[in-house]
Amino acid sequence: MAVTSTRDYVGVPADVVSNYHGNQLVYVSWDHHLMFAAPFILCVSPDMRLADLVHGPIAQLVQADPDAARIDWPRVEWLKRGRPFRPDFSRSLAENDIAHKDQLRFRTPGLNSLCGHGVS
């Protein structure tokens, strides 16, 4: 259905980084684990060390998955903006170029129990 506006419409996004008081949104998903239907969204400081994000909020959020206790975090394969990414866990999100509303995906080859057999 067509809509006619009586004046110019200016959309103002509500999720700009300036609305998060020094924090930013980061989406995180675990590939091939269907227990989680959508990425987690975390509101965190860009100064947070990536290791603290992984071993804190991310580890806590995925712990319900049967494979979670077997994650070998140093061997996890990471993607950022859809491309392979080698993070430096001792550095901050900002230093790893993880920006507001970026999505981090991680893969754990061999741990795909909820996805079925033959998926890597």
pTM, two decimals, is 0.84
Q: Is the pLDDT of residue 119 over 70?
A: no
Asked which of 3-12, 47-56, 70-79, 107-116 is least confident by mean pLDDT, the reply is: 107-116
Label residues 14-47 b or e (16+ Cβ within 10 Å = b).
Answer: eeeeeeeeebbbbebbbebbeeeeeeeebebbbe
- Going from the N-terminus, what domains does the chain have, and what CATH number goes with each? 29-107 (3.10.20.560)
Cα–Cα distance, 15 to 70 (Å, whole number): 35
CB-facing half-sphere around the CA of 12: CA atoms within 13 A: 2
44-99 confidence digits (pLDDT tens): 999 999 999 999 999 999 999 989 999 999 999 999 999 999 999 999 999 999 99
Structure-model confidence comparison of residues 117 and 69, the more confident one = 69
